[in-house]
Amino acid sequence: MKVLLDLQHLNVATTGIKTYMLELAKAARKYSHPEIEWIFTHEPEIQAADRSFLGPKSKIQRLNYHLDYFRWKEFQLPDLVKKYKPDVLICPDFVSPAASLPCRRLTVIHDAFFWQMPENYPRWWRKYFLNLIKKGLKEDTEIITTTEYSKSSLVEHLGDAWPISVVYQAPKGLKSASDTQFLSRCGLNSHGYFLHIGTFDRRKNLPLLVDAFAAYLNQNPGCKKLVLAGGPGQSKRMNDFPVVEKLVSDLGLQDQVLLPGYLSDGEIKALYEGAFGYVFPSQNEGFGIPILEAMGFGVPVIHSDQQALLEVAGGAGLAFQTGDRDDLTEKMILLDREKVLRSRLISQGKERFKDFSAEKFIEAFHRLILKPSL
């Protein structure tokens, strides 16, 4: 059974989708199956390191990227299908070619954000991208998504014309050595800070976290710091970084809230190892990789009661009511004061982490690949 894995999108993918693609490729190589031959369109690490289309770009440069992406999906990828004659094509970035293909398709649609939150996307771009997605859902196609919550959301917006399977992904494998000096360079003490890692997309609710942290400090002055690591939101419309910066300044929290930006794997590893607690206040997620990363490092997790996060945490996190600042503050205080609770969350989190291994991730793909065609 030949499987062609489309890895073109790694040159611009960020956060969750990038992790998904890289971990899928790594697992495919590490946990081989005697009946499956994997063919990659690109060498994963090399494609992920290509920064040609990353960073702030002019309108012309952004247009060039969209043209490059369209050319890849509609011409170059179908040509590779003709060349390699795979039995299955996997597109892990929402979009499969509109052209008719002589193979099965497994198309990964990670979430339903484009339908659920149209206000977060430029109208013309959203319309164009949704058109690409729908034109690629044809012939012998099966959709793969990340959680039961995402599945139900996709059925609501796409209907049930295509079978949808849930495959739990594996978190990023942080193999780099921990940067042991990073905490001291940032003025942080081990177990002396709450942590969040990710982009400043509006749906992440990071201003809410800053507000809740300020309220927490009112009852525990000087007790902990807050680290918000990661870069700006993925578009000007979705970016809450300036909002967070202004809020930190207005609240006088410049010494208590750190915004270190994008970090290396070694620096991220050091932050996880030293964190007192991980806080994930997002209002909408398709999966929530940082929950698992934190649990794997023995960091107790506070998360919103958004459905995907409840599903991934599996009861091993401390949930608060989505969007409720006072409830979030209460949970941060509770984690700080209740040592038995914190120990229990750490223990349960480590057990929950085991349910999302790279081996289980690829085994789920193996089952779908080898399943008889409909």
Tens-digit pLDDT profile for residues 232-263: 876 777 889 999 999 999 999 999 999 999 89
301: pLDDT strictly greater than 70: yes
Residue type, 329: T
Q: Which residues contact 298 (CB under 8 A, 6 or more apart)?
A: 346, 349, 350
Three-state secondary structure call for residue 111: coil
Tokens of 320: 């608060």
Q: How confident is the model at residue 63 (pLDDT cuts 50, 70, 90)?
A: confident
Tokens of 60: 């012309």
Q: In what order do the strands lie in the sheet with 37-40?
A: 37-40, 2-5, 88-91, 104-108, 141-145, 164-166
Helix (H) or strand (E) holding 44: helix 44-49
For the segment 31-51, the average pLDDT, to the nearest whole number, is: 95
Three-state secondary structure call for residue 97: coil
For the segment 150-176, the average pLDDT, to the nearest whole number, is: 92
Map out the domains of the chain as residue ranges: 2-170+357-370, 182-355
Task: Classify domain 182-355 by CATH architecture.
Answer: 3-Layer(aba) Sandwich (3.40)
Q: How confident is the model at residue 373 (pLDDT cuts 50, 70, 90)?
A: low
Tokens of 158: 């796409």
One DSSP character per residue, 328-367 reads HHHHHHHHHH-HHHHHHHHHHHHHHHGGG-HHHHHHHHHH
Q: How confident is the model at residue 172 (pLDDT cuts 50, 70, 90)?
A: confident
Q: How confident is the model at residue 30 (pLDDT cuts 50, 70, 90)?
A: very high
- The overall average pLDDT reported for the chain is 93
pLDDT given for residue 242 in this prediction = 95
pLDDT given for residue 120 in this prediction = 81
Equal fold, 2-170+357-370 vs 182-355: yes
- Domain 2-170+357-370, CATH 3.20.20.70 — does that match? no
For the segment 135-148, the average pLDDT, to the nearest whole number, is: 95
Q: How far apart are CA 330 and CA 73, in angstroms?
A: 48
Q: Which of 298, 330, 301 is nearest to 318 (CA)?
A: 301
Would you tell me how many other CB atoms lie within 10 Å of the CB of residue 59?
7
56: pLDDT strictly greater than 60: no
pTM of the predicted model, to two decimals? 0.92
Report the chain's terminal Cα–Cα distance, integer Å.
Answer: 16
DSSP conformation class of 54: -
